[in-house]
Amino acid sequence: MSSLAPLTGRVRPVVLEADDICVTIRTSSGVVTPVDHVSLQLRQGEVLGIVGETGSGKTVTCRSLLGLMPSGQASHTGSVRYPGVLDGNALDLGRRGMRKHWGRYISMIPQNPMTSLNPVQRIGDQIAEAVTAHQKLSKGATAERVIELMSRVGIPVPEKRLRDYPHQFSGGMLQRTLIAIALAGNPKVLIADEPTTALDVIIQDQILSLLIDLQRDIGMSLVLVSHDLSVIAQICDRVGVMYAGQLVEMAATQDILRRPQHPYTAALLKSLPGAVARDQPLTTITGSPPRLVDLPQTCRFQPRCPFAEDACGTWPTDLLHTGDTGRVRCRRHDELDLAAGLAPVPAAAGPSLPIVGVHAH
């Protein structure tokens, strides 16, 4: 969990506000809507997790937080604002308007470390490029900053390793390099898109610990994306659950673990060994998510939902308020007891305790 907890009566400022974003892409098979009415708010020092199956729109959502649109015939509505920093809507400003904010205010660790680095350029030079993109420094000062960044992200003997090429680095070291590049401009907001997916379990834990250390030290806000709820639950203050381009639930991690409100969230939890009560079987979600082409504005989880009723097929999937800050897109959320069968979450524990060390793939 981030350092958000010891707040003493002061509400932290909002650093990013996404309001009702929709992204559509015109393709030969129809209009795809990877992001459909997504709203979220991120406060200073907060760690927000976004979880969802492959193709649910996590990457397109994250990129839109930087004002980036998918390739092809993409269009958007809605807005992304950085209060006090950005005049206007990041989605409307284009590369020219946004470039000065990338790296400096908001950075993204891309999903695939192997293809994100230049294979024929030395690691040190790639980090140096990121450093000099934000600051005019002498050669010596740049080299010092590169070594400082490499050691900060845990690359051993950086003065030697900076001469290596990407193929000489392990997956974990490549991921650390991408984190160093993302941090080169001291951003206030870091978006980490599946930073641990390609790594084995031990290295995954090391990278997560590194991210959370950095987040605490620097006081950054972090958006952590994963298809694995056990990863998200370990370190996030709040969780947004995506399904077929929509946020179907958003709540504090503790609330998600104790009282999931959406059948999809509950189903994700019931597939995680540490989240299920000892005497309960693990279950998997049958069926597959819908294709994101010409989708109806009614519940998209209905065909896979064990609690679906006929009326769910006509309900216009509004995001409903739950408790003080939670949101859910299920018309039945009040009447369902979705926590049945889940392991109890200790009151004093951080969000991670019930499922630490469990990685479902």
Within residues 238-297, the interface with Mg ion by CB under 5 A covers none
Tokens 């709203």 found at? 39
Contact pattern from residue 104 through residue 123 relative to ligand ATP, giving x for each residue in contact according to CB under 6 A and a dash for the rest: -------x------------
Among 40, 86, 180, 292, interactor with ligand ATP by CB under 6 A? 292
Question: Given the rule CB under 6 A, which of 9-17, 64-72, 100-108, 157-165 is the region that contacts ligand ATP?
Answer: 64-72
- Cα diameter, the chain: 68
Among 55, 67, 185, 354, interactor with ligand ATP by CB under 6 A? 55
CA 301 to CA 329: how far, in whole Å? 10
Among 60, 162, 232, 330, interactor with ligand ATP by CB under 6 A? 60
Task: Determine contact, residues 298/316, Cβ cutoff 8 Å.
Answer: yes
Phi, psi angles (nearest 5°) of residue 63: -65, -35
The item of Mg ion, ligand ATP, none sharing an interface with residue 290, based on CB under 5 to 8 Å by kind, is none
> Residue 34's closest CA among 300, 231, 329?
300
Within residues 26-45, the interface with ligand ATP by CB under 6 A covers 27, 32, 34
* Residue 24 binds ligand ATP, judged by CB under 6 A: no
What are the angstrom distances between the C-alpha of 8 and each of 28, 124, 252, 349? 54, 41, 18, 20
Q: What is the DSSP string of 133-144?
A: HH----HHHHHH
* Residue 59 binds Mg ion, judged by CB under 5 A: yes
- Min dist CB 291 to ligand ATP, Å, is 7
The item of ligand ATP, Mg ion, none sharing an interface with residue 152, based on CB under 5 to 8 Å by kind, is none
What would the two tokens of residue 326 be? 């939670």
Measured at CB, which residue is nearest to Mg ion?
A: 59
DSSP element (H, E) containing 104: none
Q: Which residues bind ligand ATP (CB under 6 A)?
A: 25, 27, 32, 34, 52, 54-60, 70-72, 111, 227, 292
